[in-house]
Amino acid sequence: MKLFFTCLLSINALLVLAQTGSIKGRVSNENNEPLELIHIAVKGTDKGITTAESGEFTLAGLADGTYQLVASGVGLQTLERKVTVRGNETSTLNLTMREDAKQLQTVEILGRRETTYKNDVSFIASKTATPIRDVPQAISYVTKEVLRDQGAFTMGDAVKNMSGVNQFTFYDDLTIRGFRMNGGSTTQLFNGLRTFSGFWKQPPVNYLERVEVIKGAASALYGNTSPGGTLNRVTKKPLTTPQKSLMFTTGSFNTMRVLADFTGPMNDSKTLLYRLNLGYVNAQNFRNLQFDKNLIIAPSVSFLPTDKTRINFDLVYNNSDSRLDRGQSVKGNDLYSSSIATSLNAVNDYLKEETYLITTSLNHQFSQHTSFNIAYLRTGYSEDLLEHRSSNVNAVDSAGAAIDNLVARQVFIRKTKSFMDNVSLFLNHNVNTGRAEHKFVFGYDYIQSSTPKGSGQQTANGYLLKAGGAAAYNARRPDLYQFYTYTNNGVTRSIPKPNVPSYDLTLQNNQLEDPSKYIYNVTANAATTPVFYSLHGIYLQEQLKLNRLQLLLGLRYDTYVDKKGFTTSNETNVTQHALLPRIGVVYAVNKHINLYGTYTKGYNPQDATVQSDPTSGGPFDPIRSSLTEVGLKSDWLDGRLTANVSLYDITQTNTLYSANAADNPNLMIQIGEERAKGVEFDVTGNILPNWNLIVTYSYNDARITDAGSRPADQALVNLQKPNAPTNQGSFWTKYTLISSSLNGLGFGLGGNYVGERNLSLNNAQTIPSYLLLNAAVYYKIEKFQFQINLNNLANKTYWVGGYDYLRLFPGAPRNFMATVSYTF
């Protein structure tokens, strides 16, 4: 009997097992690429499995019934799907998982998997993962896909796609809503941390995921920032799936560029990821004697020991060899009297720069509601410079009158180093109280920046004295100076002999010079004066959401310490404090449209190098600003396309401008008040999956409204600010054919319009408006893509910016770039 029951139970068990079913499936991303190591769990049970390299999975031994499957992976949105199993059948379930932008943006650890012009979530504006449409402030951005399609390589190429952002010079030097922001002295962000650049060269963009600008002051989160906007560079981060690409570009101006991008997991569990971006550029220029050689090494490593802890390391190293280009000079007020190729350099000039940015960050989630972030950024910069440049004035005759075809020159020999450290830590906490959702951020920043002792500069300028030495020319005492015979247009005359040979715009005398023959002075230059400043900031922010209404409330308290007389026996601390509020509101009209408004205050101590320069005319009071902004943000075409409009009013006091003093080019004046009012319009995204579009327009009325107490400065009132066009716009569109016979063929077309601008604070010297047209052709076949970019199709002569007619910065004539890329 016992044997009978044992056999019966065994047969019953076999029958039950025979009737179990299974679930098979495949998990892929939005590009239909397989996703490996995705965890597939049966909700309410301990059953689960991970996907193979092919993205496939099989769950076997399931009894009849309906199951809730949960698919989850690092950096991806969790999916839940119901699947019914009957008998011994196999059910099929294919899943498409999307990037969890909120998770990625919270820590900026993992790479962005999206491959479109559109970016949905911003971290820079609130230090929380917030959809851009829910941020009560205008944000412009350019993704790596736009940069690739336009053949962009420098920051100037990127920002032309942003409303209200304009170049000031060739350098890392921009105006945003009419307020100047340069990499040498004004705050920039790098992965959300404070940094600076060497100023003389625009940073390359090949290692960047995107470039973004939060318009208006970001002071409530980042302390002293430009009232026009803050630029953030976000580096490419590792991906969990292997991907490699090589890119080779050649074209006009003897350009040769080789770029590489490798990423993927370093172990089977995908807890250790890497990314390596490499770049080498060797290019001449349309400008005489100008060239640029760059070596860029940018590795990134992410370590994810658990699903709650993430650690990231980034390094960007850039070694640059070039000449410093101070711009074009023209005769008198005739912009077209010299070639746009005119450069005042000598053949043996050089600029050697080395820059590194090292970032380490950690994010730990204590729970689904609370996370902690800490990050450290170290920036280092060194410069070795020899340059022949203008003295910002024309050479003079014996009576002291300017000779318009001769530009007075000076020589700088400079070596300097600068460093910056930024430690940032903050706590995020999310909680619900009834129907209200709260996101709290509490943080602390410490920043220090220094130019240590050991930098130095020698300067040669002026006119040679009979008694030896050199000095500025005094027309009342010509007997003190040496003279030489100068002939121009058949007229010979005796003029003072310069210490450094003047540049003759008629002869274009670029030649090998002997700097050892000049008479030098060791100068207390702002770039080499030892400088140290530090900043402590604490801040608190709440984002409250109640149904359709969202509020953003922020408050920051800063303590800024500038060591005046740094490294000297008279070193003293100059301490300043600032309380910086921010109030914003967003109202969701419907699922497509959000209305917003914001008010914030800004604060910016004057540049420490200017404050320390004894020839600047300082010390100067700090800059104060306020922003009022309202706008509309909208999503259309199932979220593929965004259309935003903003209206703003910015007031700033105590801005420094060059006094344009011929005898002291470093002399500054402090304007009482300036105001910028305007409107911006941006459209970004995809009309169709194969049709990308960017359209921008800005109207900016940026004027000096109060020139202070000096009567001579009252003429500045109501002048449009330097290099701040009233009207500016751009468009870019790319269309890829999808018919079977022409599949892979694409076309791009774009344009940039910039209105007339004033140079410095002189409305008599302006540069004209310009409209450029650019085009591109693409052909993709399997893993290869061939691309040709044609720029300035009409071969327009134009200027991107300048200080005056002796320091103009012309744009490139018609040119082309041809690129071959291979992805594997």
- Return the pLDDT at 477: 95
Peptide bond into 619 cis (omega under 30): yes
Ordered strands of the 48-50 beta sheet? 48-50, 39-42, 65-72, 79-85
- Return the pLDDT at 77: 74
Q: Which of 313, 80, 298, 332 is nearest to 208 (CA)?
A: 298
Q: Which of 655, 689, 652 is nearest to 670 (CA)?
A: 655
Q: Which of 348, 291, 297, 350 is nearest to 319 (CA)?
A: 297
- Return the pLDDT at 801: 95
Q: Where are the alpha helices (DSSP H) in 531-575?
A: none
Question: What's the CA gap between 611 and 531, in Å, rounded?
Answer: 10
Stretch among 96-105, 315-324, 649-658 having the lowest mean pLDDT: 96-105
- Return the pLDDT at 409: 97
Stretch among 195-204, 350-359, 625-634 having the lowest mean pLDDT: 195-204
Question: What's the CA gap between 652 and 179, in Å, rounded?
Answer: 9
- Return the pLDDT at 182: 76
Phi, psi for 515 (deg, rounded to 5)? -65, -15
Q: 87: which DSSP letter?
A: T
Q: What is the pLDDT of residues 305-320, one digit of tens each?
A: 988 899 999 999 999 9
Q: What CA–CA distances, in Å, run from 154 to 144, 147, 276?
A: 12, 9, 19
* pLDDT over threshold 90, residue 120: no
Q: Where are the alpha helices (DSSP H) in 114-193?
A: 144-150, 155-159
What SS3 class is residue 407? strand
CB atoms within 10 A of CB 60: 12
Question: What's the CA gap between 462 and 650, in Å, rounded?
Answer: 42
Question: What's the CA gap between 22 and 19, in Å, rounded?
Answer: 10
Q: Which of 232, 663, 229 is nearest to 471 (CA)?
A: 663
* pLDDT over threshold 90, residue 20: no
Contact 174, 166 (CB under 8 A): yes
Number of H helices, E strands in the chain: 6, 50
- Return the pLDDT at 15: 43
- Return the pLDDT at 13: 47
- Return the pLDDT at 9: 46
Question: What's the CA gap between 260 and 659, in Å, rounded?
Answer: 46
CB atoms within 10 A of CB 573: 11
Mean of pLDDT values over 519-533: 79
User: Which is more confident, 301 or 54?
Assistant: 301
Pair of tokens at residue 663 = 């005898």
| Bridging pattern class, strands 521-522 and 456-460 | antiparallel
* pLDDT over threshold 60, residue 775: yes
Pair of tokens at residue 406 = 């001769």
- The dihedral built from the CA positions of residue 126, 129, 135 and 141, taken in this order, carries a sign that is positive
Pair of tokens at residue 785 = 């893509």
Q: What is the pLDDT of residues 250-260, one digit of tens each?
A: 999 999 999 99
* pLDDT over threshold 80, residue 659: no
Angle CA(100)–CA(102)–CA(107) in degrees, nearest 5? Answer: 105
- Return the pLDDT at 555: 96
- Return the pLDDT at 612: 61
User: What dihedral do alpha carbons 513, 519, 522, 523 form, nearest 10°?
Assistant: -80
**Burial class of residue 401, CB neighbours in 10 A (0-12, 13-18, 19+):** exposed
Pair of tokens at residue 415 = 């070596």
The full set of domains in the chain, from first to last, is 18-96 (2.60.40.1120), 101-233 (2.170.130.10), 234-337+344-391+407-459+522-823 (2.40.170.20), 463-493 (no CATH)
- Return the pLDDT at 608: 63
Contact 79, 29 (CB under 8 A): no
Pair of tokens at residue 725 = 């066009």
Question: What's the CA gap between 461 and 411, in Å, rounded?
Answer: 7
One-letter identity of residue 154: T
What is the chain's mean pLDDT, rounded?
A: 89
- Return the pLDDT at 130: 87
Mean of pLDDT values over 684-694: 94
User: Where would I find the beta strands (DSSP E) of 271-308?
Assistant: 272-284, 291-306
- Return the pLDDT at 761: 77
One-letter identity of residue 375: A
Mean of pLDDT values over 68-95: 82
* pLDDT over threshold 90, residue 199: no
Contact 786, 807 (CB under 8 A): no
Could you please report the per-residue DSSP string of 738-774?
-STTTTTEEEEEEEEEE--EEETTEEEEEE--EEEEE
Question: What's the CA gap between 510 and 513, in Å, rounded?
Answer: 9
* pLDDT over threshold 90, residue 504: yes
- Return the pLDDT at 16: 46
Pair of tokens at residue 750 = 């774009």
Give percent of the chain with pLDDT exceeding 90: 64
Q: What is the pLDDT of residues 100-110, one digit of tens each?
A: 645 444 445 56
Give percent of the chain with pLDDT exceeding 70: 92
Q: What CA–CA distances, in Å, run from 440 to 223, 551, 805?
A: 18, 12, 51
Question: What's the CA gap between 560 and 191, in Å, rounded?
Answer: 23
Pair of tokens at residue 676 = 């910028």
Mean of pLDDT values over 571-584: 90
Question: What's the CA gap between 707 and 669, in Å, rounded?
Answer: 9
149 confidence band (pLDDT: 50, 70, 90) = very high
* pLDDT over threshold 70, residue 89: yes
**Separation of CA 820 from chain center:** 26
- Return the pLDDT at 183: 65
Pair of tokens at residue 714 = 């009252």
* pLDDT over threshold 80, residue 185: no
CB atoms within 10 A of CB 716: 22
